[in-house]
Amino acid sequence: MNALIEPPPKRGTGCLGKGCLTLIVLAILLVVIGAGGTFWSVRHVYLSDKPAPISETTSGTETSAATAGDTSLAPPSEKIAEVRKRMDTMKKAARAHEQTEVELTAADINALIAANRKSRGTASVAINDTVLQSQFSIPLERLDVPFQNAFGLGDRYLNATVTITAPPGTNASSVQLNEVTLNGHGIPAGLLDWGLPGVGRTLRSYVIKYANQYGVTGGEIKDGKVILRTGGH
């Protein structure tokens, strides 16, 4: 089980590639099943037989729509190079124990998603002042998980939305999900701290892991941006 949900991170992609999609799907499905669901309810209630349109913010005011699995919408190379440079600068500052701050707009985050062909078209974010909403539409057939065909899930889509607010002082250990819906049905917003059945670890432990990779010690969401900071000690 651990080998499935904790693949080694690939350089330059962070939590945006196939490994992260597998983690998201497995974590959510395990939480639903652990909360008393059945594979019938997972297939017919919490999963969909159709992808949800994914809105991709390509600039501060421009949006476009894609469907899950669409690999045609890639950001300009200059844009993704600039965002990656900022992330690399933050990582270097953290390693040097220097304080630094990186601001990411929705367009920046969506550029990172769209730059990876394995995550392109499966997720997007929008930020309204202090509220971030993330949307997923992940085709299970894209993931190498053993149960997808055994339980008839290979033709289903995980369509979800997650809403997050992060006031000043938020870090990976304290960030909370405000609202989570799966195929239009609400699931516990506290799923970050639920122990994954058969695994024991929580989804938050993976959030902390990826934050540590970039040296992120805190941040907040305000003025339509995600602000990430390194501690400098």
CB 140 within 8 A of CB 158: yes
The model's pTM? 0.76
Residue labelled with tokens 């350089």: 11
Half-sphere exposure of 45 (CA within 13 A, CB side): 13
Structure tokens at 36: 């008393």
Beta bridge partners of 48: 157
Q: What is the pLDDT of residues 120-177, one digit of tens each?
A: 888 899 999 999 999 999 888 876 655 556 566 778 888 999 999 999 999 999 998 8
Between these two residues, 35 and 174, which has the higher pLDDT value?
A: 174
Position 170 scores a pLDDT of 94
Is the per-residue pLDDT at 201 higher than 80? no
With contact defined as beta carbons under 8 Å apart, do 46 and 63 qualify? no
| Average pLDDT of the segment spanning 22-38 | 62
Tokens of 120: 């392109």
Give the distance from CA 83 to its chain's centroid.
17
pLDDT at position 39 is 65
Q: In this predicted model, what pLDDT tens digit does every residue of 36-82 receive, in sequence order?
A: 556 666 777 888 889 998 875 443 333 445 555 554 444 568 888 89
Q: CA-CA distance, 196 to 181, in Å (whole number)?
A: 18
Helix H, strand E, coil C: the string for the chain is: CHHHHCCCCCCCCCCCCHHHHHHHHHHHHHHHHHCCCCHHHHHHHHCECCCCCEEEECCCCCEEEECCCCCCCCCCHHHHHHHHHHHHHHHHHHHCCCEEEEEECHHHHHHHHHHCCCCCCCEEEEEECCEEEEEEEEEHHHCCCCHHHHCCCCCCEEEEEEEEECCCCECCCCCEEEEEEECCEECCHHHHHCECCCCCCEHHHHHHHHHHHCCCCEEEEECCEEEEEEECC
Do β-strands 185-186 and 99-104 pair in parallel, antiparallel, or remain unpaired? Answer: unpaired
Task: Let me know: does 7 contact 19? Beta carbons within 8 Å.
Answer: yes
pLDDT tens column, 83-135: 889 988 988 998 898 999 999 999 999 988 888 887 888 889 999 999 999 99
Report residue 186's pLDDT band, with 50, 70 and 90 as the boundaries. Answer: confident
* Residue scoring higher pLDDT (23 or 64): 23
Q: How confident is the model at residue 188 (pLDDT cuts 50, 70, 90)?
A: confident
Comparing 52 with 203, which gets the higher pLDDT? 52
Yes or no: say if 100 and 218 are a contact pair by the CB < 8 Å rule.
Answer: no
